[in-house]
Chain A
Amino acid sequence: MERAASMHVRPEETVAEFVGATKRYGEVLAADRIDLRIRRGEFLSFLGPSGCGKTTALRMLAGFETPTDGTVLIDGQDVSAVPAHRRPVNMVFQHYALFPHMTVEENVGYGLRQRRPRLSRREIGDKVAKALATVRLDAFGPRRIWEMSGGQQQRVALARAIVNEPKILLLDEPMAALDAKLRGEMQRELLDLQRQLGITFVLVTHDQEEALAMSDRICIMGKGRIAQIGSPQELYDRPATRYVADFVGKANILSARIVARAGGTAQAVLGNGAAVTVADAPGDARGEAEIAVRPEALSLAPSGEAPGPGVAAVAATVTHRTFLGDHTEYLLDAPGVGALQVNVPRQAERVPGGHGMGASVHVIWPEGAGLVLAAG
């Protein structure tokens, strides 16, 4: 299946929009002035730890929560005061919320049966059959819900939502209850489904791998606010803040003194006096800042070996090593800098069998690896 559906769509067309959307429960700010445009046909994820406001954002889109301030728009229309049952969106609930007193096909056809004017029985039957085929549950229509496994129940929940052809499909941690293997399968299936249907998907998850694997764009939430929004690569390569760098992937976060900056790069001096060249934060002018560098951006050399020209080297001792097959995770102690993690691919090991515990090494910091983090 080619990536057809999203291609037909004008790239920047907005299907839904949050404008200063705020949700307050007494003293608690669950969502704080959220501004966000959701593009038609994209796969957008809200990612963050529990209590970050991601679920509140989704529920404001579904209509289960009314914003205390600000507005939510769907297709350009202010739906802030429109109840859930009149919104053109459908949700796959965290624990599926399937109706236990109905069969699989009755569950899937439920939304169609609510339409007024009524759809004909035949039309409903056809659509239900098609939706069940889409989630590969063709033969399961007459089954009872409790006869279905967790993975099957999730497919039923999915079919029950997509059969209504919603403008946006909302997914509230849909894979949280599945085991790891099933989760991987389900992720691929969801992506295929999204390409096939061309519907906008909005996913809420606390699982960064899930968000990275599936999303066109990720909206990282923290304390009710949007911390950063961008493609998975952008967030991984250019995390704006320490919060984002910490949350997406692993990062070494170090304090540094910025001694020079030009053309988007900055010269940073680490605690042990080593000077490294990193990408700068736009518009930043601080003398002291935190810098972040990914473990796989660094490499290790035996301390006897001289580092090449233009390459910074930080003296360190190996404190832990974890062999993970294709690569080894080294935890190091660098005097004056602190703890560092470096991931070395197997074929890039400079010492046969890798560096041992307690070995003295140089952490090689290539020019341009790492970046200055914005405050906050």
Chain B
Amino acid sequence: MAMTRSRARALLLTPAGLWYAAMLLLPLAVVLIFSFGERSQIGGYAPGFTLEQYANLPARFAAFRNTLTLAPLGTLASLLIAYPLAYYLAVKVTPKWKTMLLVLVIVPFWTSILIRSYAWIFLLGGKGIPAFLAMFGLEDVRLLNTPFAVLVGIVYGYLPLMVFPIYVALEKLDKRLLEAAADLGTPPWRAFLQITLPLSMPGVLTGSMLVFILLMGEFLIPSILGGGKVFFVGNALVDLFLQSRNWPFGSAVAVGLVLVMLVTVGLYTRAAKRFGAGRDDAALM
């Protein structure tokens, strides 16, 4: 009882504070320092101060371009598929089926994304969906190792992350608001646009943010389903750090990714705030 508010706050925040300092800020500082260094003869890092690594960034333009097109596209595709599903789960389905269907949404998470992505290699490969399409006269459809394949993998892998925040937002929506809208002369479809959609925006924003941020760092799905043709910044990083052992250049690419992320997420948050201005449940970052 004698503990003051500020002391209680300090105690509560200490573990997380230490964790972030040790696990986030420190590595980030190391990466920043590396990015100004030089590659040593045997690979890895040699101390120095040069902007050469940053000057080389355009060499990885394709990776940034792919990431910055497919991450937003993947987020959008996930959203378009997740929203109707979340709406169905939150509003339409009877309580008896609700739990089971929710579990079904999570079930894929029980298996490694690696294994699931390999399954897609088969489905999208020559003997999978293209073979099926060929039966209807659509010959020579190439799916594997295309941006489309990567998009499919992204939506498949990240859908639950989009579904749940939207589901929660729709679930807690006061159904009496829809009655009020009807009472005031609004047909159901218009009530959806005027009431349900705006009030579920916090869920949409949270889900999109989650998926988008994770997608910006994605490397597994592009490397499996993109077959080296469609690669993300993440793949470039894996390549630079683990294959060519060019740590300084890898660090510069990593710093570049962090900067790009800060700018895009910053812009997104500003746009998003206009939807949830002043509302405490807006779940913005």
Contacts and interface: CB of A to CB of B under 8 A. Distances in A.
Interface of A: 62-64, 83-86, 89-91, 93, 95, 97-101, 110-111, 114-115, 144, 160-161, 164
Interface centre among B179, B198, B279 (most CB of A within 10 A): B179
30 contacts: A63-B183, A64-B179, A64-B183, A84-B179, A84-B182, A85-B181, A85-B184, A85-B186, A85-B188, A89-B183, A90-B183, A90-B184, A91-B180, A93-B176, A95-B176, A97-B174, A97-B179, A98-B180, A99-B177, A99-B180, A100-B199, A100-B279, A101-B198, A101-B279, A111-B185, A114-B184, A144-B278, A160-B184, A161-B183, A164-B185
B142 to A, nearest CB: 46
Interface centre among A63, A85, A100 (most CB of B within 10 A): A85
A95 B190 CA distance: 23
Contacts of B183: 62-64, 84-85, 89-91, 161
Interface of B: 174, 176-177, 179-188, 190, 195, 198-199, 278-279
A65 to B, nearest CB: 11
B203 to A, nearest CB: 14
A88 to B, nearest CB: 9
A99 to B, nearest CB: 6
Contact of B180 (A63, A86, A97, A115): A97
B171 to A, nearest CB: 16
A85 B177 contact: no
A298 B136 CA distance: 95
Contacts of B186: 85, 110, 114
A62 B185 CA distance: 11
Contacts of B187: 85
Given A85-B187, A114-B190, A144-B278, A63 B182 contact: yes
Given A99-B195, A114-B190, 4 more contacts: A84-B179, A84-B182, A85-B181, A100-B279
B103 to A, nearest CB: 29
Nearest to A114: B185
Contacts of A83: 182
Nearest to A115: B185
Contacts of A84: 179, 182-183
Nearest to B190: A114
A144 B180 CA distance: 18
Instruction: Report the 3 A-B pairs with minimum CB-CB distance, sorted nearest first.
Output: A111-B184, A114-B185, A97-B180
Interface centre among B180, B182, B190, B279 (most CB of A within 10 A): B180
Contacts of B182: 63-64, 83-85
Nearest to A84: B182
A64 B182 CA distance: 9
A274 B198 CA distance: 72
B60 to A, nearest CB: 43
A62 B186 CA distance: 13
Contacts of B278: 144
Interface centre among A64, A83, A99 (most CB of B within 10 A): A99
Nearest to B201: A101
A357 B188 CA distance: 65
Contacts of A99: 177, 180-181, 195
A114 B193 CA distance: 13
B184 to A, nearest CB: 4
A98 B184 CA distance: 12
A115 B199 CA distance: 22
A191 B176 CA distance: 26
A266 to B, nearest CB: 49
A324 B190 CA distance: 56
A85 B180 contact: no
A144 B199 CA distance: 15
Nearest to B174: A97
B283 to A, nearest CB: 14
A95 B176 CA distance: 9
Contacts of A98: 180
Contacts of A100: 199, 279
A84 B187 CA distance: 9
A173 to B, nearest CB: 13
Contacts of B190: 114
A177 to B, nearest CB: 13
